[in-house]
Amino acid sequence: MTRNADELLEIGAKTNSPSYAPAQFLLDHGEGVWLWDSEGTKYLDFVAGIAVNCLGYKHPRIIEVIRRQSERLLHVSNMFYTREQIELMEALTQRCFADRVFLCNSGAEANEGAIKLARRWQYAVAEAPERIEIVTARYSFHGRTYGALSATGQPKYHEGFGPMLPGFLYADYNDLESFRAVVGERTAAVMLEPVQGEGGVRPAAPGFLEGIRALCDEVGALLIFDEVQAGVGRTGSLFAHQGYGVEPDIMCLAKALGGGVPIGATLATERAFHGWTRGSHATTYGGNPLVSAVSREVLAVIEEDDLCGNATRQGEALMDGLRSLAERFDVIKDVRGRGLMVGAEVGEAAGEISLLCREEGLLINTAGGHTLRFVPPLIVNAGHVEMALERVERALTRWSASRAA
């Protein structure tokens, strides 16, 4: 007996974790930048599984690599090497400052690795065991596990889950003086998103990351960039920090790295990895041959199809269009972003407008409660951006009319 969507949604409502509130329809299949629900309604997808599905849906190269790899090996554990894992680690380290990679399964886990790497480096290499503090930014988001949650500079995520881990301090993003006030001789590392995502899509201001790099060097702290959301092409360079010309000691990736399969990575210099020795850290699934093969293919497609260049071009077009809309709809207070990580600040109206966009056939979500977030697949073209803007315009027209009524 095949159950219909309503019956399944009813079961979902009873069995799903109450921490989620998914839309009340079933997504059924996708192709390119389009998604269809089980009733046949078609959506232009500017959520991309929250900045994950960089190649959209049903990409022929991803289908083929999954088919091929699933016929050979899915998983072997880190007791053994596979060609796929080594080739992924090689590809990543050839493309950035990092010399080594710890492969894992999610953004939070990549950040846990970074925090452990930094503290252990101070303990074992710098011989400064008192340096345990991790300084992060207010409105940052680093994940939901305890280390990553403690690093997240937003009290609303901590409420009722205390105590947080000791040794986490917060300063104001894009305010070097605020960081200067808390970074010092007990600092193990500063951890930052080059573009804040969940906190409201806020790019680092010119000079800020350079200033933080100099500050870390001055006091002997490591610099961690959390590129879980901003990395892997989204901001117009393969890694977001490359667009800023500032290198960290440690970088965390996840989301788009797997194009839809779960993978995370903590990357760092040889020097930063000196703190870890055999047994210091591990994870069972990390870098298994299936996800590694897919991730390697994702990187290849991003390069061969110049999706970084596309992210820059389409991101500019999207931001230009949103700025034009801001001239007509004063609910839009600010448009900001980098590449295809774009936000439109609309205050309290964010939830309502994003729902209206969905009714108009455009999937977006909100960040920080006040910002509409646009993180489409990196394969979007000018026509898709135009269509998205038309749908946003219709949603804003309806929202404005409902306010006037």
Contacting residues toward ligand PLP, per CB under 6 A: 50, 106-108, 111, 141-143, 193, 197-198, 226, 228-229, 254
255 in catalytic set: yes
CB 399 within 8 A of CB 331: yes
- The amino acid present at 144, given as its one-letter code, is R
Q: Is the dihedral of CA 353, 357, 363, 364 positive or negative?
A: negative
The nearer residue to ligand PLP, 123 or 157, going by C-beta atoms, is: 157
> Residues 168, 228, 389, 321: is their CA dihedral positive or negative?
positive
Give Dmax over CA atoms of the chain in angstroms. Answer: 67
Based on CB atoms, which residue is closest to ligand PLP, 232 or 389? 232
The string of DSSP codes covering 283-337 is -SSTT-HHHHHHHHHHHHHHHHTTHHHHHHHHHHHHHHHHHHHHHH-TT--EEEE
Q: What ranges in 60-186 are assigned the alpha helix state H?
A: 60-70, 83-94, 107-124, 146-151, 155-158, 176-182
User: Annotated catalytic residue: which of 97, 179, 208, 226?
Assistant: 226
**Catalytic status, residue 172:** no
Beta-strand pair 168-171/133-137? parallel
Look at the alpha carbons of 8, 10, 15, 20 in this order and tell me if their dihedral is positive or negative.
positive
CB of 384 to ligand PLP, least distance (A): 23
Helices (H), 154-207: 155-158, 176-182
Measured CA distances, 302 to 119, 157, 247, 298, 305 (Å)? 34, 34, 21, 6, 6
Residues serving a catalytic function are: 141, 226, 255
